[in-house]
């Protein structure tokens, strides 16, 4: 149980570390609950950890906050929160401004766990009810990020408070918002990844018809229901306790999801990905599954005899293909750079089956495997969609397995060993353990996951083996 006793172990700071937040909390909830202690100049949300950093203008305000949290319950969005001084004296801003109160009319949005495609339509629908959006640019250098430009700093400030920490769709596509460095965005074309709403003549595709302004997009895009992840629901009643704190005249009584159209969908609408640049001796159907299953269900994998080093991967739907392209295109695996794109094929047909260099079959059907991670809506929501990183999260490992045994497993399979190891505390009754493995590079982590994901760990006198599960961690280092 958290206690205020440890608040004196860390030096006083105007920055307070807040823990124990509920999943639904947004920046505005923190400001509303804590501004009674003094003026707040910056908030940084950590949604998946259910934590936040709050920077007060004066250290005396932070003192009041920590002291109050130690002596009585302080509630944020209806749930008791816990407070301590941060080891930082100031929250680092992307703008690196010396003025702690400085803002910007351009916001930097990081979309965490992007289970569904993020387009300009989606972000406009989310951001425009707060204030008139002028320009949006989406980029995918490190995961999915976007910049949204408002006409005034005040609009951006309101949007940051209302949306920072919110989910675009239930349980995923979580927004982490900061002020951006640029003060204006340059947009040269209007499409899925950039849009200038002040220049309609840049339009190069047909806009979705009948789109209504809204601030929440529901469980998932409506077309996703057609793929077995829920019922088709084109209209969603707005919840009564709106987290966006807008007045009633700002919001229609019923809101509609934007429907991804094939004419405006960046990567087409096929559920088959084509992967080239595969190492001929080290990649096979199973290893492709081990890597691609992080982004959606895998139905079938087939290597093409006519094009060496190329395979077709049939996934559960076109959204899975989009996620695979976003996160896996151009990564290096076994010294070769992958090229992942949408295939013109709409299904993988098991023709021309042959033997790969490692002796395995060029075709494999994974439709019935238990290792697919998106077989139900509940299971899919547990996956954290992450770009490849140098830290792997391991789980479903028997408690008797040690750090040395995991290192030996890497050595036996001729893949790089990890440099740092962390095991999470487990309940005494837990039958498995989990933790983190840090590698020297992202490429090393990718190769280990490709080879060892779903490895069967057998223990002496054990009836059934344990299936080692690996995924990319949200942590950048240990």
pLDDT digits (tens, 9 = 90+) for 35-67: 999 999 889 888 778 899 999 999 999 999 999
Each residue's pLDDT tens digit, 349-366:
888 899 999 999 999 999
Q: What is the pLDDT of residue 217?
A: 56
Each residue's pLDDT tens digit, 133-172:
999 999 876 678 999 999 999 999 999 999 998 888 887 8
104 — pLDDT class (breaks 50, 70, 90) = confident
237 — pLDDT class (breaks 50, 70, 90) = very low
Is the model's pLDDT at 214 over the cut of 70? no
Q: What is the pLDDT of residue 253?
A: 32
**Which segment, 45-54, 55-64, 109-118, 263-272, is predicted with the most confidence on average?**
55-64
| Token output for 304 | 């093409």
Rounded to two decimals, the pTM is 0.63
| Token output for 75 | 């509630």
Q: What is the pLDDT of residue 227?
A: 39
Beta bridge pairs of residue 469: 395
244 — pLDDT class (breaks 50, 70, 90) = very low
Q: What is the pLDDT of residue 376?
A: 83
Q: What is the pLDDT of residue 286?
A: 97
Q: What is the pLDDT of residue 402?
A: 93
Is the model's pLDDT at 215 over the cut of 50? no
| Mean pLDDT of all residues in 200-225 | 48
Please classify residue 261 by burial: count the beta carbons closer than 10 Å to its beta carbon, then call 0-12 exposed, 13-18 middle and 19+ buried: middle
Q: What is d(CA 230, CA 219) in angstroms, rounded to the nearest whole number?
A: 9
Is the model's pLDDT at 404 over the cut of 70? yes
- Between 319 and 103, name the one with better pLDDT: 319
Q: What is the pLDDT of residue 219?
A: 52
425 — pLDDT class (breaks 50, 70, 90) = confident
Cβ(56)–Cβ(62) below 8 Å: yes
Which is nearest to 43 in space by CA: 11, 90, 106? Answer: 90
Torsion of the alpha carbons at 190, 191, 192 and 193, rounded to the nearest 10: -60
Q: What is d(CA 101, CA 73) in angstroms, rounded to the nearest whole number?
A: 29
Cβ(229)–Cβ(221) below 8 Å: no
Residue 33 three-state SS: helix
Is the model's pLDDT at 264 over the cut of 70? no
420 — pLDDT class (breaks 50, 70, 90) = very high
| Mean pLDDT of all residues in 252-260 | 33
Mean pLDDT of the chain: 82
């Amino acid at each position: 149980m958290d206690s205020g006793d440890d608040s004196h172990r860390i030096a006083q700071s105007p920055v307070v570390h807040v823990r124990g937040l509920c999943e639904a909390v947004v920046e505005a909830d923190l400001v509303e609950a804590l501004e009674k202690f003094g003026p707040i100049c910056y908030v940084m949300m950590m949604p998946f950890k259910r934590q936040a950093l709050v920077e007060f203008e004066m250290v005396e305000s932070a003192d009041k906050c920590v002291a109050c949290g130690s002596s009585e319950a302080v509630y944020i969005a209806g749930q008791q929160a816990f407070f301590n001084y941060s080891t930082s004296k100031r929250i680092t801003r992307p703008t690196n401004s010396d003025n702690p109160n400085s803002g910007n009319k351009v916001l930097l949005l990081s979309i965490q766990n992007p289970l569904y495609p993020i387009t300009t339509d989606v972000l406009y629908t989310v951001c425009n009810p707060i204030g008139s959006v002028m320009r949006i640019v989406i980029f995918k250098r490190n995961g999915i990020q976007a910049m949204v430009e408002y006409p005034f700093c005040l609009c951006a400030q309101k949007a940051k408070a209302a949306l920072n920490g919110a989910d675009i769709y239930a349980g995923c596509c979580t927004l982490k918002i900061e002020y951006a460095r640029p003060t204006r965005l340059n947009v040269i074309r209007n499409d899925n990844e950039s849009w200038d709403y002040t220049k309609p003549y840049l339009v190069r595709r047909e806009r979705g018809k009948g789109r209504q302004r809204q601030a929440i997009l529901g469980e998932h895009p409506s077309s996703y229901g057609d793929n077995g992840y829920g019922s088709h629901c084109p209209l969603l009643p707005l919840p009564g306790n709106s987290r966006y704190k807008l007045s009633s005249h700002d919001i229609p009584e019923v809101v509609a999801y934007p429907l991804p159209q094939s004419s405006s969908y960046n990567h087409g609408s096929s559920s088959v990905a084509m992967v080239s640049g595969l190492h001929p001796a080290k990649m096979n159907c199973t290893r492709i599954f081990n890597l691609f299953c992080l982004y959606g269900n895998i139905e079938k994998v087939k290597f093409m005899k006519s094009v060496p080093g190329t395979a077709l991967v049939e996934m559960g739907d076109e959204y899975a293909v989009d996620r695979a392209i976003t996160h896996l295109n151009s990564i290096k695996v076994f010294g070769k750079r992958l090229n992942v794109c949408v295939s013109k094929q709409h299904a993988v047909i098991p023709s021309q089956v042959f033997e790969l260099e490692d002796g395995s079959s060029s075709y494999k059907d994974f439709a019935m495997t238990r290792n697919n991670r998106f077989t139900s809506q509940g299971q899919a929501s547990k996956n954290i969609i992450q770009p490849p990183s140098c830290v792997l999260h391991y789980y479903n490992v028997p408690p008797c397995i040690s750090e040395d045994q995991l290192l030996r497993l890497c050595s036996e399979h001729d893949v790089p060993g990890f440099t740092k190891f962390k095991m999470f505390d487990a309940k005494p009754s837990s039958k498995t353990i989990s933790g983190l493995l840090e590698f020297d590079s992202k490429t090393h982590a990718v190769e280990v996951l490709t080879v060892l994901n779903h490895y069967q760990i057998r223990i002496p006198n054990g009836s059934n083996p344990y299936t080692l599960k690996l995924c990319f961690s949200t942590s950048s280092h240990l």
